[in-house]
C-alpha cells in the first residue's frame, strides 16, 4: 500500500525567509505523481505543485519548488521568501487509483 509521511506537525518561519516542508513516500509503482496542497483556515484545498516520477527536473511554481529525490523517496516543498499569507496547513499527497493518498499535514506559521 502507498504511504505518505509528513514528520513535521508544525513549523515556524520568519517572514521573507525560505522554509522546507518534508515529505517522504512509499510506493511500489514505477510511475506515480506527487502533489502539494495548501489549506488556509477557510478550509479550501489549493493545489500548489505537481511532480511526476519520470520528470527530469524538479517542479517549480513561482515561490514554490519541489526538491524531488527519487532514490530517497522524498518530495520536500520549498517556499522561498515566505509571506504572512503562507500561514496554512500543507499536505503532501500521491495519486492513487482511488483518488489521492495524503500525509498528516504540516501547519506552517509565518512570523512577522
Partner 1 sequence: DVKVTQSSRYLVKRTGEKVFLECVQDMDHENMFWYRQDPGLGLRLIYFSYDVKMKEKGDIPEGYSVSREKKERFSLILESASTNQTSMYLCASRLSGTGGFGGNTIYFGEGSWLTVV
Rg (alpha carbons) of the chain, rounded to whole number:
13
Which of 44, 72, 85, 112 is in the footprint of partner 1 by CB under 8 A?
44
* Beta carbon of residue 18, minimum distance to partner 1 (angstroms, whole number): 24
Euclidean distance between CA atoms 45 and 92, whole angstroms: 12
* Beta carbon of residue 27, minimum distance to partner 1 (angstroms, whole number): 14
Euclidean distance between CA atoms 35 and 66, whole angstroms: 9
- Cross-strand bridge partners of residue 25: 4
Euclidean distance between CA atoms 25 and 2, whole angstroms: 7
Q: Taking CB under 8 A as the rule, does residue 79 contact partner 1?
A: no
* Beta carbon of residue 13, minimum distance to partner 1 (angstroms, whole number): 21
What the block records as the C-alpha cell of 49 is: 505543485
Q: Taking CB under 8 A as the rule, does residue 47 contact partner 1?
A: yes
Q: Taking CB under 8 A as the rule, does residue 99 contact partner 1?
A: yes
Place of cell 527519487: 70
What residue ranges bind partner 1 (CB under 8 A)? 4, 6, 9, 31, 33, 35, 37, 42-45, 47, 50, 52, 91, 93, 95, 98-100, 102-105
Amino acid at each position: 500500500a502507498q504511504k505518505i509521511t509528513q514528520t513535521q506537525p508544525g513549523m515556524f518561519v520568519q517572514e521573507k525567509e525560505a522554509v522546507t516542508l518534508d515529505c517522504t513516500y512509499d510506493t511500489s509503482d514505477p510511475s506515480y505523481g506527487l502533489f502539494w496542497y495548501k489549506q488556509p483556515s477557510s478550509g479550501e484545498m489549493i493545489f500548489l505543485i505537481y511532480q511526476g516520477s519520470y520528470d527530469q527536473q524538479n517542479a517549480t511554481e513561482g515561490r514554490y519548488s519541489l526538491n524531488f529525490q527519487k532514490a530517497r523517496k522524498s518530495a520536500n516543498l520549498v517556499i522561498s521568501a515566505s509571506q504572512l499569507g503562507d500561514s496554512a496547513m500543507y499536505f503532501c499527497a500521491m495519486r492513487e487509483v482511488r483518488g489521492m493518498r495524503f500525509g498528516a499535514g504540516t501547519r506552517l506559521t509565518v512570523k512577522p
